[in-house]
Structure 1
Amino acid sequence: MQMLFDNRTIQTEALAFQRGRSLQKYWMILDEMQNSTPRQAKGVITRPGLGTKIIIIGDPAQIDHPYLDSRSNGLVYASERMRGSKLCFQVTLQHDECERSPLASEAAIRL
């Protein structure tokens, strides 16, 4: 794994560093997007160039941002606005389809 980072096959970057770029033939994995604002989501999702694919991951029930909620975050914003696009494919997993420990599952319900 370290070799993939060393030869820059895999790179990690903050969302803020994506502005003004056009990324060609990349796979972008945007994790924890429920903690992005709609503006941040738009800023990064509009970066792909020809041949680039984007995978957006998040859980709107796990917001850590003090000014976002389960409806006003970048993940939900992108999902709702891109729904129906022939260039977009969306998968939504239900809670019973996610593998979590019994403690994590109960904590998610209770907390």
Structure 2
Amino acid sequence: MVMGGASIADAKHRALDLLTRVGLLHRIDHKPGELSGGERQRTAIARALVNHPQLILADEPTGNLDQETAESVYQELLLLNQELGTALVVVTHDMELASRMDRVVRISNGQLTEAA
């Protein structure tokens, strides 16, 4: 953000806001290796949002997470999509997550097989 022209104060404010949004403000002084898998995924969400993107590409955002943590990550992505208006393109094998999206496109063997 600073390299993109934001002031240090603005960058810090944005980082603190996003850490709060993803529920990680209490972990601000921890190193990445000290975070759980779910905390790392939420950190990735915050990092993806830091520069106010219009679009987020998420490839299996919950692939290695337990069901409870995966649900938390799903909820966070959907909430941020609604609150910030950031479009999401999510690649997933999880039909439960896919069913929550506005539009679902299925690809099989490299071919578009269904769009809803």
TM bucket by the smaller chain?
Answer: 0.3 to 0.5
With structure 2 as the length reference, what TM-score do the two structures score?
0.41
Structure with greater proportional helix content? 2
Structure with greater proportional strand content? 2
